[in-house]
Copies of this chain bind each other. A is one copy, B any other.
Amino acid sequence: MRRWPYQLSAEELRAAFTEALDPQLAQHHVVHTAGYQDAIRRIANELQCEATEAALLAYRNADDAAGYARRLLASTATGTMLVDAGFATAGTFTLVEQQQATGITQREIIRLETLAESLIQGADDPRGWFSAVRGALRAGIERGAVGVKTICAYRATLRLQPVDTDALGVAFSAIRIRAERGEHPRLSGSALCHALLFEAAQECRELDVPLQVHCGFGDPDEDLAKTSPLGLRTLFIDPAYRGLRIALLHCYPYHREAAYLCSVFPDVYMDLSLTIPFAGLEGGRAMREALGLCPTSKLLYASDASRYPEVSFVAAVAHREALAEALGELVARGILDTTAAVGAGRQVLAENAKRIYNLTD
């Protein structure tokens, strides 16, 4: 999260509720989305201020920054935050600082591609690179990280292809030259990214930690057409990965496909994350659609909030509401009784994550 205290402008707040990278969206269009209007209303309701962007910003910018943030975060009732450390910048808390600042236990998720980029220069060939990456993953997990996340969807297609050793060698040489020149060796292309993903998947299986895979909805650096979780089929059916727990993140608009995968493969899980706070009533619709095939033992809560307590807050509140409505519909139809619905809610909001990530209270 961004290190508080800080003042927040209207455009910064809007930018927190969109995946757009172009500032024109925050300038002209985000205010015309149901998701943002809903966010304003929910936050204002919590703060007991007028439900306008201006009133909300005036309130939060005048308030004690730490108290304000803690108040919103307390409303999320988050027991443990699993944090993709790949978002870290000079202006964000370290995990240790964040735990102290928020009062919430923080556990790291290792971002695969960021880690792997840092190890290119020291490696002579792909084999050495993979060995270094796997060693670093082991070290990270030993140090307390609880899972690994791949953003392959931003760097290559998610339609996984078998490793092409020749192409891998060529691509590795090219990126290593960039690294030696002092340029940032940005991983991209299927030759590198898929091979890396397969290595990480095997390592996660051996380490008994989940592999998170960004699928679907994200910023426009990705080509959404190539981010369906169905493309990960090799990870689900190849015996080399048997037992690997895979968490499909985001998923929209491929959430029906993700729910199908959860329904037929034993170790596949999914979340809807940012679709819930960003997409207005469509978030609740995605939740109901996902709960068609996806067992409640397979759906995970996630906020996808990376910088602002406002997003954490809206994600948590809207998520609980969407889940309550989806389960409530099943109760109203006589499919679940109240006890079963409450149990299902607990699974999604806490128990599944505790089990899958081996979190101890």
Interface residues of A (CB under 8 A from B): 18-22, 24-25, 28-35, 37-38, 41, 159, 217, 219-220, 223-225, 228, 230-231, 233, 236-237, 252-253, 256-257, 260-261, 263-266, 278-283, 285, 288-289, 291-298, 329-330, 333-336, 340, 344, 347
Q: Let me know if B224 and A257 touch, CB within 8 A.
A: yes
Q: Let me know if A25 and B264 touch, CB within 8 A.
A: yes
For A19, A31, A263, A294, the residue with the greatest tally of chain B CB atoms inside 10 Å of its CB is A263
CA distance A7 to B223 in the complex (A): 49
Q: Let me know if A336 and B264 touch, CB within 8 A.
A: no
Interface contacts beyond A22-B264, A28-B266, A285-B288: sample of 20 additional A-B pairs, CB < 8 Å, sorted by A: A19-B264, A21-B264, A24-B266, A29-B263, A32-B296, A32-B297, A33-B294, A34-B291, A34-B335, A37-B335, A223-B230, A225-B230, A253-B257, A280-B330, A280-B335, A281-B288, A281-B292, A281-B333, A282-B289, A282-B293
The complex is assembled from copies of this chain, and their number is 3
Q: Let me know if B219 and A223 touch, CB within 8 A.
A: no
A226 to chain B, nearest CB (A): 9
Q: Let me know if B282 and A291 touch, CB within 8 A.
A: yes
A56 to chain B, nearest CB (A): 15
Q: Let me know if A32 and B335 touch, CB within 8 A.
A: no
A15 to chain B, nearest CB (A): 12
A237 to chain B, nearest CB (A): 7
Given the contacts A32-B347, A225-B231, A282-B288, A266 and B336 also touching, CB distance less than 8 Å: no
Chain B minimum-CB-distance residue to A279: B292
Given the contacts A220-B265, A263-B18, A281-B292, A41 and B225 also touching, CB distance less than 8 Å: no
For the complex, would chain A's binding face be called helix, strand, loop or mixed by DSSP majority? helix
Q: Let me know if B296 and A263 touch, CB within 8 A.
A: no
Taking CB atoms, residues of chain B closer than 8 Å to A297 are 28-29, 32
Q: Of B217, B225, B283, B294, which contacts A228 at CB under 8 A?
A: B225
For A231, A288, A292, A297, the residue with the greatest tally of chain B CB atoms inside 10 Å of its CB is A292
Q: Let me know if A30 and B280 touch, CB within 8 A.
A: no
Query: Which 7 A-B pairs give the minimum distances between C-beta atoms?
Result: A282-B292, A24-B266, A225-B230, A32-B295, A279-B292, A253-B256, A29-B295
Chain B minimum-CB-distance residue to A254: B253
CA distance A334 to B344 in the complex (A): 27
Taking CB atoms, residues of chain B closer than 8 Å to A25 are 263-264, 266
Chain B minimum-CB-distance residue to A283: B292
Given the contacts A253-B257, A293-B279, A336-B37, A344 and B32 also touching, CB distance less than 8 Å: yes
CA distance A111 to B252 in the complex (A): 34
Taking CB atoms, residues of chain B closer than 8 Å to A296 are 32-33
Chain B minimum-CB-distance residue to A286: B292
CA distance A264 to B298 in the complex (A): 29
Q: Of B22, B256, B266, B334, which contacts A265 at CB under 8 A?
A: B22
A192 to chain B, nearest CB (A): 21
CA distance A103 to B333 in the complex (A): 33
Q: Let me know if A223 and B233 touch, CB within 8 A.
A: yes
CA distance A266 to B233 in the complex (A): 34
CA distance A333 to B278 in the complex (A): 16
Q: Let me know if B33 and A293 touch, CB within 8 A.
A: yes
Taking CB atoms, residues of chain B closer than 8 Å to A288 are 281-282, 285
